[in-house]
Amino acid sequence: MNKSQGSTPVAAGANAVEVRGLHVKRGKNVVFDGLQLDIPRGQITGLLGPSGCGKTTLMRSIVGVQKVAGGTVTVLDAPAGSSQLRHSVAYDTQAASVYADLTIRQNLSYFARLIGAPRTDVDRVIAETGLEDHAKQTVESLSGGQESRVSLAVAMLGAPELMVLDEPTVGLDPLLRGELWSVFRALADRGTTILVSSHVMDEALRCDRILLMRAGRIIADTTPDRLLADTGAPDPDAAFLALIERDVTAGRDPSTDAGTDGDHPLTRHELRHPPTGPEGER
């Protein structure tokens, strides 16, 4: 779940991440064909788009675990995956990667020792993720949403400079989603750079910056205010649909373009609203 974590600054460039001419293939499918983007430091950047558009592949490329066919990915002024980034970058995957037979506290204590984080971090991340009442429970006894929070807590150990979070709020009820976004905002206010993916479009309004991905391409790089103003839309769902329509009008056909990582045209049904059921529903 964690690529790496720690608290030692690596560099002080304007951007935390710079992607230049990225080419990625999966089998015979081209996921990215010359992708370019920047992610500034100390902000929350939301990576939004339908399932299969390439969000996870981009995140894997940024943390250095994705095989790339060409181009460069620079993270904190070093090549993605470099050993010098081991204590500066945290990666929270969609699937929780913690030990099911250990308690929450045991998991966190283990990972804290592994990365050299202070003991006090364990109590801090338990509190910040709202897991105090479950700290002595084994992970296998938790709901899906609670298990996701344990993974996020592990990613928060050691105060990493960059946190890459792949759909961290999936399966969580609206109240808990709001609480976690408050945590993300507090981290960003302390200088942490956060890249968070989602296909729940209203989460875009919680970000400082928004990247909308479709068929392996960034079709919009904007802010929440500009998103609504530029499209004249009343809400994020309508705004994103307007951007998709512009992309289609411009002649972009996702059936022939890059981004065939299981991607298909974005429709109103894919603009997911947050779940309203019990925590843990997937």
| Global model pTM greater than 0.75 | yes
**How many other C-beta atoms can be found within 10 angstroms of the C-beta atom of residue 79?**
12
Q: Point out which residues pair with 218 in neighbouring strands.
A: 213
Kindly state the DSSP code that residue 84 receives in the 8-state scheme. Answer: G
Q: Are 200 and 272 in contact (CB under 8 A)?
A: yes
Q: Give all domains of the chain, ordered by start, each with its CATH number.
A: 15-61+174-250 (3.40.50.300)
Q: How far is CA 248 from CA 204, 239, 245, 263, in A?
A: 22, 14, 5, 15
Print burial letters for 5-21: b (CB count within 10 Å at least 16), e (below 16): bbbeebeeeebbbbbee
Helices 144-156 and 174-189: crossing angle, nearest 10°? 0
| One pLDDT digit (tens) per residue for the chain, 282 residues | 444 434 444 445 689 999 999 999 999 999 999 999 999 999 999 999 888 899 999 999 999 999 999 999 999 999 999 999 988 999 999 888 899 999 999 999 999 999 999 999 999 999 999 999 999 999 999 988 889 889 999 999 998 999 999 999 887 888 888 888 998 999 999 999 999 998 788 899 999 999 999 999 999 999 999 999 999 999 988 998 999 889 888 876 554 445 544 433 333 334 433 334 444 433
Q: Are 230 and 261 in contact (CB under 8 A)?
A: no
Both tokens of residue 59?
């995140």
Q: How far is CA 219 from CA 35, 59, 214, 243, 279, in A?
A: 11, 17, 7, 8, 33
pLDDT value, residue 215: 92
pLDDT value, residue 102: 98
pLDDT value, residue 253: 54
**Residue for token pair 């943390």:** 63
Q: Are 217 and 257 in contact (CB under 8 A)?
A: yes
pLDDT value, residue 252: 62
Grouping H, G, I as helix, E, B as strand and the rest as coil, residue 135 is coil
